């Protein structure tokens, strides 16, 4: 083992990472999906997930205004949408409409449940922590959805 540049180690250890899509809502009621690689489960009981979003991101504004998000584990059928949601800003585009994926209304805060997703967790933000140029939002899961027929997409698959 050799000591090397930090960025080289990060690159060598990050795949096959999973990605998620967090869906927030802006002050006008428009839903805004964002593709994230920085997320983790933080509690078993109650079940909680943390997501990390940059302070300059439109999704950060959405989560500050509305304290809910849906955490979706996208399926392979969603690769193009996941790329779009991770590369465009909701300030400039209705990303949910642009992707064209069907959805139905969830139970907690009436946020979208994407029909093509492998799984979705409906979360209420219970705490947040500033972490450098990002904020970590911790959401408690209130409802969960699963399509057992689908497979989760990985970061490596998105890079093809």
Tell me the pLDDT tens digit for each residue of 33-63: 999 999 999 999 999 999 999 999 999 999 9
Q: Is residue 7 part of a domain?
A: no
- 21-38 burial, b at 16+ Cβ within 10 Å, e below that, comes to bbbbbbeeeebbbbbbee
Q: Is residue 3 part of a domain?
A: no
Radius of gyration of the chain (CA): 16
Whether 99 has a pLDDT exceeding 90, the answer reads: yes
Whether 9 has a pLDDT exceeding 80, the answer reads: no
Q: Is residue 1 part of a domain?
A: no
Q: Is residue 11 part of a domain?
A: no
Domain that holds residue 60: 17-158
- Distance between CA atoms of residues 34 and 69, nearest Å: 11
Q: What is the CATH number of the domain that holds 144?
A: 2.30.110.10
Q: Is residue 47 part of a domain?
A: yes
């Amino acid at each position: 083992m050799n000591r090397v540049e930090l960025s080289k180690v990060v690159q060598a250890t990050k795949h096959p990472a999973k990605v998620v899509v967090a869906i927030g809502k802006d002050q006008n009621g428009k839903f805004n999906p964002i593709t994230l690689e920085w997320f983790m489960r933080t509690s078993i009981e109650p079940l909680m997930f943390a997501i990390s979003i940059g302070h300059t991101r439109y999704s950060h504004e959405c989560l500050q205004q509305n304290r809910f998000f849906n955490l979706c584990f996208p399926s392979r059928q969603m690769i193009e949408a996941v790329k779009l949601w991770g590369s465009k800003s909701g300030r400039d585009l209705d990303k949910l409409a642009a992707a064209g994926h069907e959805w139905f209304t969830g139970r907690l805060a009436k946020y979208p449940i994407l029909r093509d997703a492998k799984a979705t967790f409906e979360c209420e933000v219970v705490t947040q922590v500033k972490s450098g140029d990002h904020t970590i939002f911790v959401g408690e899961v209130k409802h969960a959805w699963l399509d057992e027929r689908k497979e989760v997409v990985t970061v490596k698959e998105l890079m093809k």
